[in-house]
Structure 1
Amino acid sequence: MSLDDLTDDVTDSYAGIGDELTVSLDRETRNELALLETALEPEATDELVRRAIHMLFQSTVDTGKLDFQLRSDYDVTYDEYLSGMTFEEMTGADQYPTMDDERRYQF
């Protein structure tokens, strides 16, 4: 897969999520959410879910798990996704022809 494939998959996923998301909660998650809502007193429970997604995303980026998954599935990193270019494209390494070792030193 490639950077273009990743971009297409993110776009498709974004379109599929929509503005509202219905999530079923197990007992443990419901208890944890109730405790957080009581302690943090957000205006709405939705705010806690948004914060949780941001925290999960940030920790996944910080620990390198996101880069690992992206490199495994799409052969790109998060930085390459953000820039819209692979490292090879950024450095120009993909612009040079491959070296032919048999003819390298021939004039």
Structure 2
Amino acid sequence: MTLDELSDDVQDAYSDLGSDLDVSLDRETRHELAMLVALFDPEDTDELVRRAIHVLFQSSLDRGQLDFHLRQGYDVTYDEYLSGMTYEEMTGQSQAPPRDDVRRYQI
């Protein structure tokens, strides 16, 4: 897969999500959410879910898990996704002529 395919998949997922998301909670998750609500006393539980998504995303990015999965699935990194170019495109390697190893050491 490629950077373009990743961009298309992110756009598709973004449009599929919409602005509201219904989430079913198991017993453990409900208990943990109740603990966080009691601790942080937010306006509504949606704020805690938003925070949780940010924390999960940031920790996946910091630990390299995001890049690992992006490299496996799309052969790009998050930095490449953000810039819209692969490292080869950024450094001009994709446009460089092929090396001639036979003549490389001739003067």
Q: 5 Å matches for 1:58-73?
A: 58-73=58-73
AA matched with 1:67:
D
For structure 2, which runs of at least 5 residues remain unmatched after alignment? none
Corresponding residue number in structure 2 for 1:79: 79
Greater than 6 Å deviation, 4+ residue runs: none
TM-score (normalised: structure 1): 0.94
Structure 1 residue 101, shift from structure 2 partner: 3.1
CA distance in 2, matches of 1:103, 1:4: 36
Corresponding residue number in structure 2 for 1:31: 31
AA matched with 2:88:
E
Corresponding residue number in structure 2 for 1:18: 18
TM-score (normalised: structure 2): 0.94
AA matched with 2:89:
E
Q: Match of 2:48, SS?
A: helix
Identity %: 68
CA distance in 2, matches of 1:28, 1:50: 19
